[in-house]
Structure 1
Amino acid sequence: MDATAPLGELSQQERESRQLEEKLAIAREAVRLLLPGETILLDASTTALEFAGALPEGLPLRVVTYSLAVVERLSSRDEDIELVQLGGIFEQRGRRFSGMITENSLRSLRIDRFFFSGGGLHPTLGVSEPNPEQARLKRMMLEHATWSCALLDHTKFGVKTDYFFAAPNELEALVTDRESRAFAKSHLKDAPFDLRFAR
């Protein structure tokens, strides 16, 4: 087990097959929020990976990420996507980079929109991560970006993992699947962000 991966955090490979249909639906809905010429930041979640795969052909974007999987997914899109990999210390289990180099690279870039996932969503405490280093990095990214959107399937709703990094009032949008409607109706009816359900 990777020393930087805490108990309870699954590997990239283990996460990719979970709720795949929901992630694909969320991705298709979330890309509707994009505008041509924007610089977007994607985290190393498997939902963001599907979001990368759903980016429309011909839409000019700069995509910034610290996920090796996202880079591999977009590596052939050189005509419409400028791909920026944030370097750093590579973590094989999560197939991602992190650390001081990652953070310093990010600070030099303008980020219009940050799309990310997490281990859970609590209606008042917000989005959380099981990994403290990932929570800290995503917190920094949230503060650096002009606009932020959480991509969370229904299995994350009502779940609290150990490290909270995004309060509800810090999100501009949240995209989820239809199975989240009952929870949203009960717990997110006064949510301060734009709540969108995948079609």
Structure 2
Amino acid sequence: MLKQERHEKIIDLLNQNDFMTVSDISTYLNVSDMTIRRDITELADNNQVIKIYGGAQKLEKISQELTTNEKIHVNVPRKQYIGKIMNSLIKNNSTIYIGAGTTMLYALSEIKRENLFVITNSLLAFNHLIHNTEYRVLLTGGEFSRTTEEFYGENAERSFNNLNIDIAFAATNGIYENNITTANSVEGAIQRVAFKHAKYKCIVADSSKFNRSDIYTFYHLTDVDSIITDNDISNNTYDHYSNFTKIIKEELN
């Protein structure tokens, strides 16, 4: 069997089974474990599968960014759960950054700390904060995205000049290996600027976001302090991504 044919069959098998061991794949294709390990390594290097201990896992690629209205009712309990963990990381009298995304919107209702100063580029977050809290709020300027309902660009990025942020929370469309991904470079750029001004950098991602890749990598897991997720994350995924950074899936005391 030619290598290209093996690669295609491995991808097909993973599309059907999500995860398979090296032994299972080698038995199915009737080739050696060593050959399959080499194939998995090459496929992973080409962003076609995810290489994990003992086997491989399907990589889901995001073909098109969903609008806020399309995301708004997806995985709501997970997003609210994430908010409770975010709250446990925040201290009273803190300055925090809240990025765009529906995860952030549902998480905000779970933040109960006192005397916060909140910086955001999200119109959804801004509207929630001014109508439901007494926090000081800074909404960045910039160009407005009707798809994600966030502000971005040079004017938005300049809003962070001279700011000192205690903890910055940014969402993502997908996490693959060491890559934190989003749909385009301008959405990622403002997250990078916020992280540059933050003492503590945190990614929030419900468990469905792992092993998925969007077009643009805006940051790396090894450069953030932690990821907050929900407790539906699988043991395999948790163990794999813990090699890159700390994963928090329960409220801290």
Instruction: Give the TM-score band, short-chain normalised.
Output: 0.7 to 0.9
Matched, 1:156 2:209: yes
SS at match of 1:121: strand
Describe the shift of the 1:184–1:41 C-alpha distance in structure 2 as closer, same or farther (beyond 3 A): same
Give the conservation status (yes or no) of the 8 Å contact 1:142–1:148: yes
SS at match of 1:75: helix
Alignment of 1:125-144 (within 5 A): 125-144=178-197
| 1:150-187 per-position Cα deviation (integer Å, ceiling 9, x unaligned) | 11111111111111122112111111111213233441
Identity %: 23
Give the conservation status (yes or no) of the 8 Å contact 2:185–2:218: no
Counterpart position of 1:181 = 234
Offset of 1:100 from its aligned partner? 1.4
Which ranges in structure 2 are unaligned for 5 or more consecutive residues?
A: 1-62
Counterpart position of 1:52 = 108
Aligned residue pairs, count: 190
CA distance in 1, matches of 2:74, 2:115: 30
Describe the shift of the 1:93–1:152 C-alpha distance in structure 2 as closer, same or farther (beyond 3 A): same
Structure 1 or 2: more helix by fraction: 2
Higher relative contact order (CA 8 A, sep 6+): 1
| 1:114-156 per-position Cα deviation (integer Å, ceiling 9, x unaligned) | 1111011123x22110122111221222222221111111111
Give the conservation status (yes or no) of the 8 Å contact 1:142–1:166: no
Counterpart position of 2:225 = 172
Q: 2:121 aligns with which of 31, 54, 66?
A: 66
Matched, 1:196 2:233: no
Alignment of 1:78-97 (within 5 A): 79=134, 81-97=135-151
| 1:21-63 per-position Cα deviation (integer Å, ceiling 9, x unaligned) | 111111111210001111100111111112222111x611000
Counterpart position of 1:105 = 159
Counterpart position of 1:16 = 72
Structure 2 counterpart of 1:73, one-letter code: H
Counterpart position of 1:38 = 94
Give the conservation status (yes or no) of the 8 Å contact 1:53–1:74: no
Give the greater-gyration-radius structure (CA).
Answer: 2
Higher mean Cα deviation, 64-73 or 83-92? 83-92
Give the conservation status (yes or no) of the 8 Å contact 2:173–2:182: yes
Describe the shift of the 1:189–1:70 C-alpha distance in structure 2 as closer, same or farther (beyond 3 A): closer
CA distance in 1, matches of 2:133, 2:181: 34
CA distance in 2, matches of 1:37, 1:140: 22
CA distance in 2, matches of 1:34, 1:18: 25
Structure 2 counterpart of 1:94, one-letter code: T
| 1:74-118 per-position Cα deviation (integer Å, ceiling 9, x unaligned) | 113453x11111111122222111111111111232111111110
Structure 1 counterpart of 2:82, one-letter code: I
- Superposed CA RMSD: 1.9
CA distance in 1, matches of 2:144, 2:235: 39
Q: 1:76 aligns with which of 131, 149, 154?
A: 131
Taking structure 2 as the reference length, the TM-score comes to 0.70
